[in-house]
Amino acid sequence: MKPNKLTPGSNVRWESSRMILPEWRAKWLHHQQESKKVDPPMLDEQIFVEYFDLIQASELDKSLLIIEYWEEGFYYEITGAIVRISRQQPMNIKIELENSKQLTIPIEYIRYVGWA
């Protein structure tokens, strides 16, 4: 027997009248966006030292690095030269990007560093 609108336990009766309030939709979309967020990286001490050596070398000779970092739940990748390393706590690095903009990143949020 084929289900129809009156079949018990069926949701067909309400299929044609689906509706969602704008504020419910906004809340649902916000929830979807929040569920995509990831935690900040947890780096091993050896990897952290290796990345910091690359950052210091780039600061000395102004060579380009590829840096993947975490910000507000998402990972971003940039290419640029290290302008300055802040020695204060928390440690930050200032990067000059290819379009001559500068970006400051806390060093504990860096996930990957490599030569460009």
Compute the distance between CA of residue 65 and CA of residue 59 in angstroms, rounded to an integer. 10
Q: What is the pLDDT of residue 98?
A: 72
Domain ranges in the chain? Answer: 45-115
Kindly list the distances between the CA atom of residue 7 and the CA atoms of 11, 14, 26, 48, in Å, as whole numbers in the listed order: 9, 12, 33, 62
Residue 11: its pLDDT value, please? Answer: 65
- For residue 2, the model assigns a pLDDT of 74
- pLDDT value at residue 68: 96
Return the CATH number of the domain spanning residue range 45-115.
Answer: 2.30.30.520
pLDDT reported for residue 12:
62
pLDDT (0 to 100) of residue 41: 93
Q: What are the 10-residue block averages of pLDDT along the chain, 116 residues in total?
A: 68 66 93 95 92 91 93 94 84 82 90 93
The three-class DSSP label of residue 1 is coil
